[in-house]
Structure 1
Amino acid sequence: MFNGPILFFSALVSFSALILAIVACAGSTSNYNPINKIFVAQLDLTSIDADKVFSNSSSVSLPGYINVGLWSYCVANDKGSVTSCTSPNGIQQFNLKNMLLDTVEDNEATKVVDSVASVALPSSLQKDMVYYNNLVKCMFITLIIAICAIFLDLVVNIVRWVIHMRFINWVGRFLASIAFTSFIISAGTSTGTYVYIRHLLNQNYDDYGIKLKLGRIFFALLWAAVAGALINSFLWGIVRVNRKHYPGAPPTALEEKPLM
């Protein structure tokens, strides 16, 4: 009886964490509301200095914003309305130069700005870009691991309702700990990486006119999933084996009490 409510709430929070993580992962993969409003970070290009960034190519026309997701990115006009999204194509690295080139709106300008070398950006951002993108990969991979682990943990939870074995308890605890660890690494890595990139861009805002904002909805979803995984892991820790269903279990104190 004691395990029933624990397993129920464990299933509830793990299912909630799974849904939250999937929604966060699907952000900016298509131009449909509310998916197009979920992004890891948003590049604000409304005040970009095109002459400096594109080597004195003043004819370059860019969107107002670029919303960076995990799998793809979306572009939005100066009012913030999303106009289109790229197709999901694996891990979306933070390659600012390529994103700027891909979103140049004037075809004539692309003849002038035809290579990454012609795009000038803060050196402090570019010199460690490989390091930043390795952290982005870590964020992506650990999030996928967390989603898989929390899904398997939910399956084990359902099995535990039927089969009362100590082994299943340990499997549930193991998967719950893997899910929480992966979630916290993903959330921590993504938050730290994009906070630092934001700092670098904002530090050079007067020169280049590019800002970066964190995606509040994405990080709210992700950190809520972390909280759900933590609660799920705690609940698995207090699930006990029902001795009357466990073969070979030693008799309880009540069973050992001699009849008077």
Structure 2
Amino acid sequence: MSNIFTLFCTMLFSFAALILACVACAGSTKDYSPLNLIYVAEINLTKMDLTKVIPDISASAEISSILPSYFNIGLWSYCIADANKKVTSCTSPHGIQQFNLKSLLYDNIQDNEVLQTIDSVASIILPDKLQDDMHYYNDLARCMFITILIGICLSFVSLVFSFARSIIHARVITWFAGFFAFLAFLSLLISVGTSMSTYIYIRHILKDNYGDYGISLSLGENYLGILWGGVVAAFINFFCWCFVRSAPRVVYMQPPMMEKREML
């Protein structure tokens, strides 16, 4: 494999990792396609038992008139969707998106009479384990947020090194480029791993209590597909750097030997 082709591959895959990670990171920050279709997890409230979650309201109340049907949770913000899963609005990005389902429900109650009925967030009843372990999975949420940002920055640095190495034949550039490419891959891998483990754990808690509360959670397939694509691109980028030579290959040609001729 020639050095020129290998360097071209590092440029291509570091750029791919950078773009895919940026798209995943920007998911659910705006209410337009395709960003509003990219989210880490989706909370389904269509079957929620209002009398169990909000005991103070009337049993005849319909959830569609009080709460959105779906919450699409992104890294920076979230979007709300109707019963047809059509996104109606998204919140503005406001730092690391923590998972606090009580506050999420309370902040999105659409009926003023219901808001007057319940005193505070504490009036909303959810599984105890969901509340007791909240600090654990919010720590994981911070981890997946920070590591994806690190992965984006390091993918950009790796791309810069690819261009620099194509101009300057220095061994130190090759070493640093391979090191940053590995860190970019590792950061994105940790991010996607923590995002899956966090929401798989929350999904497990909600599933165990689904019969009482009727709330379910599913992972965002678009988000995971895009971010896993970024992880694969970052790994291929690192793999290509392992084959970049530190200096151009020099081929030494031995001068042809003079043939001996017999004297007549």
TM-score (normalised: structure 1): 0.93
- Equivalent position SS for 1:75: strand
Q: Match of 2:145?
A: 140
Letter in 2 for 1:235: C
Q: 1:216 aligns with which of 218, 221, 237?
A: 221
* Segment of structure 1 superposing worse, 54-63 or 230-239: 54-63
What does residue 229 of structure 1 align with? Answer: 234
Q: Which runs of 5+ in 1 are unaligned?
A: 245-251
Corresponding letter in the other structure for 1:188: G
Within the alignment, does 1:13 sit opposite 2:47 as a pair? Answer: no
8 A Cα contact 1:101 1:113, kept in partner? no
Cα distance, 1:133 vs. partner?
A: 0.1
Q: Write out aligned runs for 1:85-104 (5 A).
A: 85-104=90-109
Q: Is the 8 A contact 2:56 2:118 kept in 1?
A: no
8 A Cα contact 1:142 1:185, kept in partner: yes
Matched to 2:115, the amino acid is T
Instruction: Please say if residues 176 and 232 of structure 1, whose CA atoms lie closer than 8 Å, have aligned partners that are also in contact.
Output: yes
Aligned residue identity for 2:252: L
Identity of aligned residues (%): 52
Q: Deviations over 1:95-117 (max 9, x none)?
A: 11110111111122111224121
- Where does residue 70 of structure 2 map in the other structure? 65
Q: After superposition, where does 1:134-173 map in structure 2 within 5 Å?
A: 134-173=139-178
Measured against aligned partners, the alpha-carbon deviations of 1:101-155 in whole angstroms (never above 9, x if no partner) come to 1111112211122412111101121111001100000000000000000011101
State the alpha-carbon separation in 2 of the partners of residues 258 and 9 from structure 1. 36
Distance (Å, rounded) in 2 between the aligned partners of 1:56 and 1:205: 20
CA shift, 1:162, in A, is 0.4
Please state how far the C-alpha of 1:12 moved relative to its aligned partner.
Answer: 0.8
Q: CA deviation at 1:55?
A: 2.3
| Preserved CA contact (<8 Å) 1:50 1:56 | no
Amino acid at match of 1:254: Y
Shift of 1:56: 3.2
- How many residues were matched structurally? 252
Task: Provide closer, same or farther for how the CA distance between residues 34 and 202 of structure 1 changes in structure 2, counting only shifts above 3 A.
Answer: same
Match of 1:254 among 242, 245, 252: 252
Partner of 1:3 in structure 2? Answer: 3
2:202 is matched with: 197
Q: How much does 1:196 deviate? A: 1.1
Q: Secondary structure in 1 aligned to 2:94?
A: coil
Whether 2:193 is the aligned partner of 1:188: answer yes
Q: Deviating runs (4+, > 3 A) in structure 1?
A: 257-260
How far residue 29 of structure 1 moved from its aligned partner, in angstroms, is 0.5
Rg larger in 1 or in 2?
2
> Are 1:120 and 2:125 matched, yes or no?
yes
CA distance in 2, matches of 1:30, 1:108: 30
The residue number in structure 2 matching 1:109 is 114
Alignment gaps of 5+ in structure 2: 258-264
Residue 248 of structure 1 corresponds to none
Q: Distance in 2 between matches of 1:240 and 1:175?
A: 17
Q: Is the 8 A contact 1:201 1:210 kept in 2?
A: yes
* TM-score normalised by L of structure 2: 0.91
Q: Does the 8 Å contact 1:43/1:65 carry over to 2?
A: yes
Which letter maps to 1:33? Answer: S
Task: Give yes or no for the alignment of 1:41 onto 2:41.
Answer: yes
Q: Shift of the alpha carbon at 1:258?
A: 7.2
Say if 1:135 and 1:189, in contact at 8 Å, map to a contact too. Answer: yes
Q: Is residue 129 of structure 2 the alignment partner of residue 131 of structure 1?
A: no
Q: CA-atom RMSD, angstroms?
A: 1.6
